[in-house]
Each structure stands twice: as C-alpha cells, then as structure tokens.
Structure 1
Amino acid sequence: MKLPQFIQRRSNALILLLIYIFLSSILAYIYVIDDGYFRFSYFLIILSTTFCLFLFVHILIKSRHHFGVFIGTLVLFLLLSEVSYLIYFGEVISEGVLNSITETNTYEAFSMLKLVLCVTVPALIVTIGILFIYKKFITVKFRPILPLTCYLAIAAIFLSAGTLVQNDTHEEYKLKSLILRKFYPAVLGNVAYLGATYLSTDVYADTSEIEVFNDAVILPPQNLNDDLVVLIMGESSLVSRYSAYGYPKPTTPLMAEIFNQKNGGCIINNSHSSASMTRDSIPMSLSFSIPESNDNLFNNKSIIEMAKYNNYKTYWLASYRQYIEGTANAKFGFIARKSDVLDFTDKDHDVNLSELLERYLKKDNAPKKFIFLHLRGSHQPYSDGYDEIDKQALPDAENYDLTIHHTDRAVKAIYDVINKYSRNYTIIYTSDHGEIVNLGHGLSKGIDQFLIPFMFISTNNQFDCQFIESFRSSNGYLSGLMNKYILSNLLGYQIDQFILDKEKNNDRILLPGNQNVLFLDFLKLNKQP
C-alpha cells in the first residue's frame, strides 16, 4: 500500500535533513578538532552554520531561477573543493594557504596548477554528479526562512564579537574576517578571508623609510672591514637531503667544500625555519617581525634599511620565478622594495643568478654592499628546478634531490663571483623553510617543512663558527628568528644581550593557521618513528 504523497514528501525531507545534519556534524567536528581541542558550544555553532549552508545549497539548486542554480552550484563546488583539500592533505585549509593565494606571482600560481587540479577536478566531477541527481531525482524543496534566521542569529554573535577586537591599522579587515571564518568555516568564511586578504595587501605598498630602530638595536653602528655581506636564501630546502649533512647521495659536494671548516666555514647542524611559508619566514629573517605579531614589520627598520643607514648599498636579486609583481609577494615585497637595487634574472635556472650578481659587482664600485639573493630552489614542481647537468651527475636520483644538486651548483657559481670581486666578505646560505617531499609545505603537521640547512663563511675572524653558535637556543636548535640578529651584527650593529637571550631561548615557530608554538613541542608531536 502506497503512503499518501504528502507523507512521502515529508519522509523524504526528513531523510535529507538527517543526511545534512550527519554531514554537517562530521565537518563541524573536523573544524573544531583542527583548533586543537573539542569544545561542545563551538561545535554546535559550526554545526548550525554548516547545516544552514547545506540547506542554502539545496534551496538554490532547486530554484527555478538560473542565477540561483548557478550560485548554488558554485557554493557546492567550493565546499567540495574544501573537502577534497581535506582528503588530499589530511587537514583543513589554513589562513596561511589562503594568504598565499592572494600573495603570489604568476609563475608560482601556474607552478601550483597541478596541485590545484588534484583538488578541484574531483570536486568538479562530484559537483556535476550531485547536480544531475538533484535535478533528476530529488523533488524535496525547503523554505529559506529557517537557514536564513539561523545565519542571521549567528551573524549577530559575530558582529558583537567583532566589536571586542581592537583594530589593527595594518590588518583590520583580516582580523574581522578571521572571526567570521571561525563561525562560518565552510565556504563563506574562506571566501571572506580571501577577500579581506586581497584588500589588506595595500598596507604593503608604502616604500617610505621607517625611522625607528627596534629596541634590541644599540646605536650607533660600527664601521666594519667587511665590504660585502651576502645572504643566499634557498627555497623549500630540506636539510636531510643534503650530502653535506650526511645524505648518502652526493647532492651537495660543492657546498660541503666551500663551507668546510678548513676554509673557515661552518656547516651548522640543527637549524630550523621560523615558519613553513615564504611569506612569513622571510619577513621574520629580514625584519623584527615575530610569530606573535607583524607590528614590527611596519614600525621598525628592516635589515635592508639598517644596512642603508650604515652606508651599505643594498641589493635584492632573485630568480625570475621569485618575481615581485604589484602587491604579489606583498609581505616580503614590502621589505624588498626598500632596496637600492631590485632585480631578477631572465633565465630559467638558479645557476644563472650568478650572472646577474656579476653584472652588478662588476660595474658598481660602492665600498660596502649588502646583497640578498633569493633562489627558486626546490619549490614545486620539482621538475622545473634542475637541468641536464644535474641529471647527468645524479642519473638515478629523484626529482627533489636533483633540485638540491642544482642549488649546490648555484651557490658555487655565486661563491666564485664573490671571490672574484671581493676579498672581504661574509656569506650565509640557508632556506626560508623545508619541504615535505612530494607533498609540499605550509601544512599544520610535518616537521620536515621546518628543518633547513645553515652554512656560513667569513673572511672576518671576528665572525667565526662560534659567533653563529652563540645564537643557538638552550634547546639545541638555531632558529630562523635569529637571522635578523646575526645580520645586524654582520652589518655593524650591537644587540641588547638581555633582549637577545630572551628571544633566543623562546624558540617558537609560526604555523599556517597563525598559531605560534614552541618548536620543541611541535617537534615532539611530529617526530617521525
């Protein structure tokens, strides 16, 4: 016997509602746990907003208006893309990843296309499948009053919470959208945060000189004999893949020779980056920005400006794949644009960066120079980071190891140019962050994305291996947060010892979700068996 039609419709509606509640519960639980611990009240809020999102998608897809169907399909695709990202990486999309989407150059955007397709293509296929099912087989319709009322009620909570947040003149939009993202993590929060990030990049456009020195800096600076200080910044470089650190394949024979102690060099063990993303780590190396706040980026002189104050001519030279365009790469571009010279190679590989360096050293007779060299390094896709010479040298090596070998050749070429034009120099080679090989970086888990090389050589006897070791934390690690202090000394500045010791022994890192944690705590949680 057939059930009356209205009872059957109500039964179908109830089944759909239960399905939506079940799916919302799973997502809400994941979002809440991603914060580190379970809070039932927060779970209920996320459950409510996510459940409303499912209802909105249903209502829009079943709409008679094409525009409504289009919006519903788009929201469904974005939601499924977030789910696909969660399945692929094992975690929800972080603020750091969203920041990087709006702060990237054209090359990096295209270089990540394969990864983007791995996330979006499955989402698109499932979206089309769901759309077909809903159009052909689902007849249930819901009224928008329930989800709309719930959304507005939670929005009122959001607005009241937003008024309690003190406005940061540099990132006001992002602070408020961050609260929105906490309450509406599915689609709406991420889209709002992306928009806020895009609107916030104008704070990085100011190239006027900052007058104030950080409190740690002791004035006046000294006039040192070094006429050339060079920081070579690698990219996505995992220290355990360096033969100079014990890796069995000969990936870095040239750097092992250059930075050998017999030459007065240092190959420093147990070094880690301050963050797992370029946009965060480079500012914390070249300014007094810290994991807790970006305020010092805007309020204190950067290393570039400090070098200029002490009569160093400053250069920012980089692979064209690290090109800074407009507000792209905005956060570290804010520092780069303060340089006297900002230039990029016009050739594919890092080994050609030495030619750009030689061009400037050959024609420029400035007595003192500070040069920042930014490599393309081992950024994905790895197949773009090496050439035939690397393949011939290591015929059986995987792509990532070949990128390390190419970096080895690039550093050697740079070193040879420096030796050709200078007899008084100091060189640091390190990396902005490490890499979880074949997965990437900027993830909330995985220690490999923080473990980096640090190599040093100086013709100035004042700056030896013990000088670098003096910046090591009591936990046994040298942090990327120390780069700014090391460079300050190399450029003639003394640092307040009390402030330095406090920073040195408070060894923390910035995670992509904008949380800062002690490095040893993160190491213990992510230690490989």
Structure 2
Amino acid sequence: MKLPEFIQRRSNAFILLLVYLFFSSILAYIHTSKNDSFIVIRFLLILSTTFCLFLFIHILIKSRRHFVVIIGTLFLFLLLSEINYLIYFGEFISEGVLDSITETSTDEAFSMLKPVLFIMVPALIVTVGILFIYKKFITVKFRPILPLTLYIVIGSICMSVNTNIKNDTHKDYRLKLLVLREFYPAVLGNVVYLGVTSFSTDIYADTSEIEVFNDAVILPPQNLNDDLVVLIMGESSLVSRYSAYGYHKPTTPLMAEIFNQKNGGCIINNSHSSASFTRDSIPMTLSFNIPESNDNLFINKSIIEMAKYNNYKTYWLASYRQAIKGSSNAKFGFIARKSDILDFTDKDHDVNLSELLERHLEKDNAPKKFIFIHLRGSHQPYSDGYDDIDKQALPDAEDYDLTIHHTDRTVKAIYDVINKYSRNYSIIYTSDHGEIVNVGHGMSRGIDQFLIPFMFISTNNRFDCQFIESFRSSNGYLSGLMNKYILSNLLGYQIDQAILDKEKNNDRILLPNHHNILFLDYLELNKQP
C-alpha cells in the first residue's frame, strides 16, 4: 500500500535529518575530543552549529535562485575540503595554518600546491556528485528560520562567555575569532577567521624604529672585534637526515667539515625550534617575541635594530621563494623591513645565495655587518629544492635527502664567500623548524617538525662551543628561544643572567593552535607506542 505523499515527504525529511545529525555528531565528537577531554556542553553546542550548517547547505543548494545555489555549493565544497583535510592530516585545520594562508608569499603558496590538490580535488569531485544527486533525486525542502535562529542564539551565547585565551595587545580581535572557531568549527569559523585576519596585517606595516630594549638586555653594548655576524636560517630541515648527525647517507659532508671541532666549530646535538611554522619561529629568533604573546614584537627592539644600534649594517638576504613583498610574510616581514638592505635572489636554487652575498660584500666597506640569510631549504615540494649536482652525488636518495645535500652545498658556498671577505666572523646555521618528511609541518602532533640542526663557528675565542652549550636548558635541549640571546651576545650585548636562566629553563614551544606547551611534555605526548 502506497503511503500518502505528505507522509512520504515527512519520512524522507526525517531520514535526511538523521543522516545530517549522524555526520554532525561524528565531526562534533572528533572536534570536542581533540584536546584529550570530552565536555558534553561543548559537544552539544558544536553539534548544533554543525547540524545547522548541514541544513543551511541543503536549503541553499535546493533553492531556485542560481546565485543562492552557487553559495550553497561553495559552502559544501569548503565543508568537504575540511573533512578531507581531517582525513589527510588526521587533524582539523589550525589557526597557524590559517595565519600562514593569509601571511604567506605567492611563491610559497604555490609551493604547497600539491598537498592542497590532494585535499581539494577529491572534495570538488564529491561536491559535483552530491549536487547532481540533490538536484535530480532529493525533493525534500527545509525552512531556514529554525537553523538560522539556533545559529544566531548559539553565537550570541558563545561570544558573551569569558575565556582563558590570553588577550594580545595588538590582536585583541583574535579573542573573539578563536571563540568563534571553537564553537563554529565547520566552515563558518574558518571563513570568518580568514576574512578578518587577511585585513589585519596592517599592524605589521610600521617600519619606524622601536626605542625600547627588552628588560633582559644590559646597556651599553660592547664593541667586539667580530666584523661579521651571519645567521643562516634553513627551512623545514630535519636534523636526523643530516649525515653530520649520524644519518647513513652522506647528505652533509661539507658542513661536517666546516663545523668540525678541529676547525673551532660546533655541531650541537639536541636542538629544537620554538614553533613549527616559519611565521612564528623566525620572530622568536630575531625578536623577543615569546610563545605566550606577540607584545614584545611591537614594544622591544628586534635583533636587527639592536645590531644597528651597535653600528652593524644589517642585511636580510633570501631565496626569491622567501621574498617579502608588501604585507606578505607579514609577521617576520615586520622585522625584515627594519634591515638596511633587503634583497632576494632571482634564481631557483639556494646555492645562488652565495653570489648575492658576494655582490654585497665586495662593494660594501661598512666595518661591521649583521647578515641574516633565509634559505628555501627543504620546503615542499622537495623536487624544487635540489639540482642535477645533488642527484649525481646521491643517485639513490629520495627527494628530501637531496634538498639537505643542496643545503650542504649552499652553506659551504656561503662560508667560502665569508672567508674571502672577512677574517673576524661568527656564523650560525640552524633551521626555522623541522619537517615530518613527505607530510609537512605545522601539525598538532609530530616531534620531527621541531627537531633541527644547530651549527656554529667563530673566529672569536670568547664564542666557542661552551658558549653555545651555556644556553642549553636543564632538560638537555637547546631551544630556538635561545637564539635571540645568543645573537645578542655575538652583537656585543650582555644579558641579565637571572632573566636568561628563567627563560632557558622554561623550555616551551608554540603549537599551531596558538597554545604553548613544555617541550618535554610535547616530546612525551609524541613518543611512539
């Protein structure tokens, strides 16, 4: 016996609602449990907003107006992209990932095209399939008033509740954005976050000199004999892939020779970065920025400005893929634009950075120079990070190892130029962060994205291996948070020992969700079962 049409429609509508509720429950549960705790009220709120999103998408794509259908299709595509990101990386999109989207350069954005395609192409295919099914076979329609009312009510409640998120002097708007993302994790929170932050990078546009030194800095600075201080910053460089640290393939024979103790150099073990994103780690190297807050970035002199104060001419040299244009790379670009010279290569490979360095050194008679060199390094796609010489040297190596070998050649070429033009120098080679090979970095889990090399050599006997070791934490690790203090000493500044000891033994890292955690706690969380 055939059911009456209105009963059939209600039955179909009920089935659809159950399907939406089922998928919403799964997403809400995963999101609620991501901090290793399950809170029922949070789960119910997230379940409600996610369920409403499913209803909104249904309502939009069933509209008779083409423009409304396009909006619904876009939201469906974004939702499926987020789900695919969750499947691909095993976690939700973090604030760090979104910040990197709004603050990255065009070249770096294109370099991440491959993983983006793995996420978006399947999402696009499924979107087209769902759209076809809904247009051809689904006749159920819902009214928007109930989900819209629920959406707004939950939003009003969430935005009025106090949170424990630290308010940042220059980014207090983030407080509400983080709350919004917490309770509207599906599409809306991310879209609003991207929209607001993309228009907020003007806080990094000011290039005027900051007058105030950090409390840790003791004035006045000394006039050292070193006429050249060079920091070579690698990119996405995992220490366990360096033959200088025991890797079985000869990826870094040249650096092993340069930084050998017989040469007066140091190859430092157990070093880790302060963050797993470039935009966060470099500011914590070149300014007194800390994981808890960005305040010091704006109120204290950076290492660049401190170098200039002590009569060093400052250079920021980088691969064109790390170029700083306008407000892109905004957070560390805020520091870079304080340099006397800001210049980039116009060639593909890092080894050409030595030519750029030589062009500047051969024509510059400034008695003292501080030079920051930012490599493209081992950033994805790895196939762009090496050349035929590397392939000939390591014919059976995988792409990532070849990028490390290319970095080895790059550092050697830079070292040779430095020796050609200076006899009094200090050189640091380290990396902004590590890499989970063939996955990437900026993930909530994965210790490899923090494990980095640290190598040092100086012609000044005051700055030996024991000097570097003095910055090691009581936990046995040298943190990227110490880079600013090491550089301060190399540039002639003394550091208040009490402040240094406090920072040194409070070894924490910044996670992609903008929370910080003690490094040893993170190490414990990431131990292999």
Report the TM-score when normalising by structure 2: 0.98
Matches within 5 A, 1:98-113: 98-113=98-113
Match of 1:65 in 2: 65
User: Structure 1 residues 151-160 or 83-92, which shifts more?
Assistant: 151-160
1:434-489: per-residue Cα shift (whole Å, max 9, x none)? Answer: 00000000100100000000000000000000000000000000000000000000
Match of 1:413 in 2: 413
Matches within 5 A, 1:81-100: 81-100=81-100
Partners in 2 of 1:426 and 1:129 — Cα distance? 60
Partners in 2 of 1:352 and 1:36 — Cα distance? 47
Q: Which amino acid aligns with 1:34?
A: K
Matches within 5 A, 1:122-201: 122-161=122-161, 168-201=168-201
Partners in 2 of 1:331 and 1:262 — Cα distance? 39
1:472-528: per-residue Cα shift (whole Å, max 9, x none)? Answer: 000000000000000000101111111101100010000101110010111111123
Root mean square deviation, CA, Å: 1.2
1:392-416: per-residue Cα shift (whole Å, max 9, x none)? Answer: 0000000000000000000000000
Match of 1:219 in 2: 219
Match of 1:494 in 2: 494
Match of 1:365 in 2: 365
- Once the two structures are TM-superposed, the CA of residue 272 in structure 1 deviates from its matched residue by 0.3
Q: Which amino acid aligns with 1:114?
A: K
Change (3 A) 1:206 1:46: same
Matches within 5 A, 1:427-438: 427-438=427-438
Is 1:119 aligned to 2:125, yes or no?
no
- Once the two structures are TM-superposed, the CA of residue 164 in structure 1 deviates from its matched residue by 9.8
1:233-265: per-residue Cα shift (whole Å, max 9, x none)? Answer: 000000000000000100000000000000000
Partners in 1 of 2:170 and 2:376 — Cα distance? 29
1:299-343: per-residue Cα shift (whole Å, max 9, x none)? Answer: 100000000001100000001111111110000000000000000
- Once the two structures are TM-superposed, the CA of residue 175 in structure 1 deviates from its matched residue by 2.6
CA contact (8 A) 1:318 1:343 kept: yes
SS of the equivalent of 2:161 reads helix
Match of 2:506 in 1: 506
Partners in 1 of 2:268 and 2:458 — Cα distance? 14
Change (3 A) 1:496 1:169: closer
CA contact (8 A) 2:275 2:509 kept: yes
User: Structure 1 residues 33-42 or 159-168, which shifts more?
Assistant: 159-168
- Once the two structures are TM-superposed, the CA of residue 115 in structure 1 deviates from its matched residue by 1.2
CA contact (8 A) 2:169 2:295 kept: no
Q: Which amino acid aligns with 1:212?
A: V
Change (3 A) 1:156 1:222: same
Match of 1:311 in 2: 311
SS of the equivalent of 2:199 reads helix
CA contact (8 A) 1:162 1:179 kept: no
Matches within 5 A, 1:1-400: 1-161=1-161, 168-400=168-400
Partners in 2 of 1:122 and 1:164 — Cα distance? 38
Partners in 2 of 1:163 and 1:387 — Cα distance? 50
User: Structure 1 residues 151-160 or 360-369, which shifts more?
Assistant: 151-160
Change (3 A) 1:405 1:164: closer
CA contact (8 A) 2:274 2:481 kept: yes
Change (3 A) 1:175 1:71: same
Report the TM-score when normalising by structure 1: 0.98
CA contact (8 A) 1:173 1:197 kept: no
Partners in 2 of 1:295 and 1:497 — Cα distance? 22
CA contact (8 A) 2:168 2:294 kept: no
CA contact (8 A) 1:436 1:446 kept: yes
Partners in 2 of 1:528 and 1:301 — Cα distance? 41
1:6-50: per-residue Cα shift (whole Å, max 9, x none)? Answer: 111111111111111110010011111123311111000000000
Partners in 1 of 2:528 and 2:51 — Cα distance? 37
SS of the equivalent of 2:170 reads coil
CA contact (8 A) 1:173 1:199 kept: no
Change (3 A) 1:51 1:216: same
- Once the two structures are TM-superposed, the CA of residue 174 in structure 1 deviates from its matched residue by 2.6
Q: Which amino acid aligns with 1:528?
A: Q
CA contact (8 A) 1:267 1:454 kept: yes
Partners in 2 of 1:519 and 1:251 — Cα distance? 28
Partners in 1 of 2:248 and 2:166 — Cα distance? 53
SS of the equivalent of 1:513 reads coil
CA contact (8 A) 1:162 1:176 kept: no
SS of the equivalent of 1:291 reads coil
Q: Which amino acid aligns with 1:64?
A: R
- Once the two structures are TM-superposed, the CA of residue 149 in structure 1 deviates from its matched residue by 1.0
User: Structure 1 residues 162-171 or 492-501, which shifts more?
Assistant: 162-171
The unaligned stretches of length 5 or more in structure 2 are none
Partners in 2 of 1:12 and 1:172 — Cα distance? 46
SS of the equivalent of 1:484 reads helix
Q: Which amino acid aligns with 1:394?
A: L
Q: Which amino acid aligns with 1:133?
A: I
Partners in 2 of 1:278 and 1:114 — Cα distance? 19
Partners in 2 of 1:165 and 1:252 — Cα distance? 43
- Once the two structures are TM-superposed, the CA of residue 165 in structure 1 deviates from its matched residue by 8.0
CA contact (8 A) 2:228 2:426 kept: yes
User: Structure 1 residues 36-45 or 152-161, which shifts more?
Assistant: 152-161
Partners in 1 of 2:179 and 2:352 — Cα distance? 45
Q: Which amino acid aligns with 2:194?
A: L
Equivalenced residues, count: 529
Change (3 A) 1:517 1:375: same
Q: Which amino acid aligns with 1:132?
A: F
SS of the equivalent of 1:452 reads strand
User: Structure 1 residues 53-62 or 168-177, which shifts more?
Assistant: 168-177
